[in-house]
Amino acid sequence: MTMANLIYPWVLISVHVKLDRPVIAPGHGCTPGGVVMKIHEKILTHYLSCTSPVDKEGYLYKKRERNTTYLCRWFVLKGNLLFYQERPGDRILLGVIVLEGCLVQACETDGQFCFSLVFTGPVLRTYRLAADDHLSQESWIGALFCASHFYLSMIVRDLERRYEEARRDKGLCDSIQTSAVTSTPNKIMASWNTGQPYFLHGTSIVPRDGRSYSTSSVPPPSMPNRPISYSLHAPPIQFKTTNKRSPKLWPKTNAHVTPLNGPAPSFGKWPVVGFDPLEEFSKMHEYYGNEIKQLRADWLRKKRE
């Protein structure tokens, strides 16, 4: 392990530092004057030590809550839980951070290779962490970003849908679909619009080499404090319509009416308008509007006859 005491002169290198506040009782929170909720520590430590996969582990520096010092800790990421202890293999677990409802951001205010877990909500805290080098910082941000249960459930739901689609495409499904459902796989967007507005998951995510992105914006990792709302929603579903109106049915005498499903008329047929786009639009709108009104009037008259 590299002790980066040259880069972080404020870091307490010693791993034998005492806890900054006494533990009230095992498995209980320590909110002064607040709630004491039992988290069943044994269940958590069991999850940590069992054979389910460890998603990432390593040394990181963790800033103390009411202090400016960073302490060196061994972190273990498993599922949506970030455990920390003094050293790997320690029996004593110092703490755990439940990773739901937080943003993961690179944050350079305290120095290089820092990043934060920003919990969004009233009175909620920000955990400040720091890595040894850029690679480690990048790797941790990436791992923490996709760690939440919520994120996983969205991906699973999306994959489930695409699995069904893939099966249908291969003719493996029995159900008859009345409309062809197509998807545009490269348009999975990052935008938040579900019924849980308190959640913001985001990161100044680092595009790794060779990775193709289809999100609309991928800022570089050095941009500090840029929470980006991030989630997934299903790509737009396009339905094939069975009653497409043929352009031939449009009355030929009204060349200025643009058929909805056909190509725009060639330039010479557009009404001549001024240069200003806004003026142009409203004039065009009025022009076409009058055209439509005339058409309707004609149609109604013919109907009455």
Partner 1 sequence: MRFNEKELVFLSRQPSERAAELGMRGPKKGDVVKRRLVKLIVNFLFYFRTDEDEPIGALLLEQCRVEREDDHVFSIAFLDEAERKYLFECGSQEQCVEWIDAIVKASYEFMRKNLIYYRTEIHRLTGKDPLEQYGISDETRFQVNSGLPPPPT
Contacting residue, 68, 175, 186, 266, with partner 1 by CB under 8 A? 186
The least CB distance from residue 216 to partner 1, in Å, is 13
The least CB distance from residue 44 to partner 1, in Å, is 6
Q: Which of residues 278-297 bind partner 1 (CB under 8 A)?
A: none
Contacting residue, 87, 208, 256, 285, with partner 1 by CB under 8 A? 208
Q: Which is nearer to partner 1, 3 or 54 (CB)?
A: 54
**231 and 154 in contact (C-beta within 8 Å)?**
yes
**202 and 118 in contact (C-beta within 8 Å)?**
no
Q: Which is nearer to partner 1, 80 or 258 (CB)?
A: 80
Q: Which is nearer to partner 1, 198 or 299 (CB)?
A: 198
Q: In terms of Cα–Cα distance, which of 243, 242, 247 is closest to 260?
A: 247
Give the separation between CA 59 and CA 77, rounded to whole angstroms: 11
171 is a site residue for partner 1 (CB under 8 A): no
Give the separation between CA 141 and CA 143, rounded to whole angstroms: 5
Q: Which is nearer to partner 1, 8 or 203 (CB)?
A: 203
Give the separation between CA 24 and CA 40, rounded to whole angstroms: 14
Contacting residue, 3, 17, 167, 296, with partner 1 by CB under 8 A? 167
191 is a site residue for partner 1 (CB under 8 A): no
Could you list the beta-strand ranges (E) of the chain.
56-63, 70-78, 81-85, 95-98, 102-106, 114-119, 126-130, 181-182, 238-239
DSSP letter (8 states) at residue 303: H
Q: Which is nearer to partner 1, 156 or 295 (CB)?
A: 156
Nearest 5°: the CA angle 16, 17, 23 is 115
The one-letter code for the residue type at 64 is R
Q: Which of residues 119-148 bind partner 1 (CB under 8 A)?
A: 119, 121-125, 127, 142-143, 146-148
DSSP letter (8 states) at residue 12: B
How far is CA 159 from each of CA 148, 185, 194, 201, rounded to the nearest angstrom?
17, 11, 18, 19
273 is a site residue for partner 1 (CB under 8 A): no
The least CB distance from residue 254 to partner 1, in Å, is 45
Give the separation between CA 252 and CA 225, rounded to whole angstroms: 58
Q: Which is nearer to partner 1, 12 or 98 (CB)?
A: 98
The least CB distance from residue 7 to partner 1, in Å, is 27
Q: Which is nearer to partner 1, 5 or 31 (CB)?
A: 31
Do you know the residue count of the chain?
Answer: 305
Q: Which of residues 29-88 bind partner 1 (CB under 8 A)?
A: 29-31, 34-35, 37-47, 50-53, 55-56, 79-81
**Residue keyed to tokens 């043929």:** 246
**113 and 131 in contact (C-beta within 8 Å)?**
yes
Q: Which is nearer to partner 1, 129 or 147 (CB)?
A: 147
Q: Which of residues 224-243 bind partner 1 (CB under 8 A)?
A: 232
The least CB distance from residue 300 to partner 1, in Å, is 52
